[in-house]
Amino acid sequence: MYCVSFILGFIGNLMSLRVLTNRRSRRLASVSATRSLLVNLAVCDLAVVCVCMPITLGSQIYMAWVYGDLLCRAVPFTQAISVSASVLTLTVISVNRYYSVKSPLQARSMFTRRRILATVAVVWTVSSIMCAPIAVMNRRREISFGTFAILVCQEEWPQHRLKQGYNVLLFVMLYCLPVTFNLTISFLTGRRLWGGKKSTFADLDPRSQALHTSRLKTRQKIAKMVVCLVLLFAVSWLPLYLVDLWIDREQRPPSWLLQTRPFAQWLGLTNSSLNPICYCFIGDLYRSAKVIRTRYYQKVASLFGSSSFSSSAAVASPTTVIADSKMKDGECQHIKASAAAASASMVT
């Protein structure tokens, strides 16, 4: 399962970054603020796929931590900060889309390129501060089973209540509040998009009506995409949050609960692999991906075509040389015969 998630997430997020950073796209230029935020979201997902997935799979296979103390602190911190940055980026996207529908002129002045970059920096700073205790408290620990001992990577807090309180804080600040806020503001955005009065633009000329219809469809597609991203995040990470909170409450967690956690971990990490699928709601992203894929196939076909042409030319060249040599031999014999006949006539 991890292999499928890794391949899907790696290729999908790379393609998403390739398409989102393509400046030739006209439709994406009109939603440049959303595009910049989606680039940040794709970077978060790519970090989870490239860093967290392989090491998490390896630790589950070996049943021990074999990656050293540095990665013991870095991998959980990378997962936590990426999840935090993802949900906060989704929150900014939801606010951006709401103001783009409610008051487009105000949205353009609020969400400039400089402010978007500053917002992304604030998102990563807040995420780093909130997730810093994970990097501090995680460390390797040796567990002995008689004469046999293994190293594991665990959080070691001075008091167990501090760990419980911190996990509850993360659950509230990085799951409950953002998901509730995003769903609420997405509902308000959808009500304005699908429940607005259509007769307002009836007195416009056909060209203006077509332009308004195109913008409305683009906004509706982006609104659907945001809702899908929020729902995917909510469904993917809820089991892991609940399992961790349950384990913290139990002094001796049941075996079935401990066996459930690897699946919950995989489900949460797979969220980073499924996000690129939601980007297909923006039709221009899907078409741009098809164009890139078509160009790639054309380059590969031309490469193989040129190589086959050169090889066929190389194969045909010896035959040509042989034919030319045969022609030259025939010409030489003809010249020799003519010379002999001429000499014979001169003798006679």
Tokens 């297909």 belong to residue: 280
Cα separation, 304 vs 47, in Å, equals 34
Q: What is the dihedral of CA 217, 222, 227, 233, to 10 degrees?
A: 160
- Whether 140 contacts 151, CB under 8 Å: yes
The pLDDT-based confidence of 305 (bands split at 50, 70, 90) is low
The pLDDT-based confidence of 32 (bands split at 50, 70, 90) is confident
> Which is nearest to 8 in space by CA: 62, 53, 44?
53
> What is the dihedral sign for C-alpha 71, 77, 81, 83?
positive
Above 70 in pLDDT, residue 344?
Answer: no
- Residue ranges per structural domain of the chain: 2-281
Which amino acid would we find at residue 187?
A: F
Q: What is the pLDDT of residue 31?
A: 59
Above 90 in pLDDT, residue 239?
Answer: yes
> Which is nearest to 248 in space by CA: 142, 166, 323, 307?
166
Angle, alpha carbons 215-219-225 (nearest 5°): 145
The pLDDT-based confidence of 125 (bands split at 50, 70, 90) is very high
The pLDDT-based confidence of 92 (bands split at 50, 70, 90) is very high
Pick the CATH number of 2-281 from 1.20.1070.10, 1.10.3720.10, 3.40.630.30, 3.40.50.300: 1.20.1070.10
pTM of the predicted protein model: 0.75
- Whether 4 contacts 232, CB under 8 Å: no
The 10 Å Cβ neighbour count of residue 296 is 10
Q: Over the chain, what is the mean pLDDT?
A: 79
The pLDDT-based confidence of 347 (bands split at 50, 70, 90) is very low
Q: What is the pLDDT of residue 304?
A: 61
Cα separation, 295 vs 41, in Å, equals 26
Tokens 């959303």 belong to residue: 34
CA 270 to mean position of chain CA atoms = 11
- Whether 163 contacts 69, CB under 8 Å: no
